[in-house]
Structure formats: C-alpha cells, structure tokens
Amino acid sequence: RIGGFNNYFWIGLSDRELEGDWRWVDNTTLTKTFWKQFSLEPDNNISGGVEGEDCVVMESNTHAWSDVPCDFTYRRICQMDAIPITSP
C-alpha cells in the first residue's frame, strides 16, 4: 500500500515486538521523542488494521513523528558515519 505523502520518511523505530515498547532497528530503546503535537501520537489507530500502527515516520517539514502501519510505503532515512572533509 502507498501511504501518505512524499514528505514522510521511515526512521527505523517500531513497537512491533511489544506494544508501547519503542525500539530502534538496532534494538536500542527510545530515550527522546518527537511525537506530533496535538494529535495524540502515538495512537495505534484502528486504521492500521489488526496489526495496528507499529512503525514510525517523520514528517520532513515539521520533523514530528507519527505511528503508522508498517506495510505502508514511504521513503527511508539511513544513518551512516560522517565523511571527513579535507582542505585543499
């Protein structure tokens, strides 16, 4: 399924294993949140079906998070080491 708009990105956070226990893809626990204000996120909305909304996307213009069904298709954000810049 295609979900939402192109300005939402997967950030590698979910509570698929245990509802409410938010974990990053490397299994570290969530320590700081940026849930979307005034929308009661995370809300595990029924629109997610039986599975609920167990994965998290970030809205690019607000940087706010929302929980969404894991089978929606969004772009992804990947973490990588910084590349050193050398002066000529």
Look at residue 4 and tell me whether its pLDDT is greater than 60: no
In a domain, 88, yes or no: no
In a domain, 27, yes or no: no
Look at residue 14 and tell me whether its pLDDT is greater than 90: yes
79 pLDDT band (50/70/90 cuts)? confident
pTM, to two decimals? 0.78
Tokens of 27: 């299994």
Dump pLDDT digits (tens) for 35-68.
988 888 888 777 767 778 999 999 988 889 999 9
In a domain, 49, yes or no: yes
Q: Given this model, what pLDDT does residue 6 score? A: 56
Contact 9, 58 (CB under 8 A): yes
Q: In total, how many domains does the chain have?
A: 1
State the chain's mean pLDDT as an integer. Answer: 85
In a domain, 84, yes or no: no
Contact 60, 7 (CB under 8 A): yes
Domain of 63 in residue numbering reads as 1-17+33-79
Question: What CATH number should be reported for the domain holding residue 54?
Answer: 3.10.100.10
Segment 23-30 mean pLDDT = 95
In a domain, 60, yes or no: yes
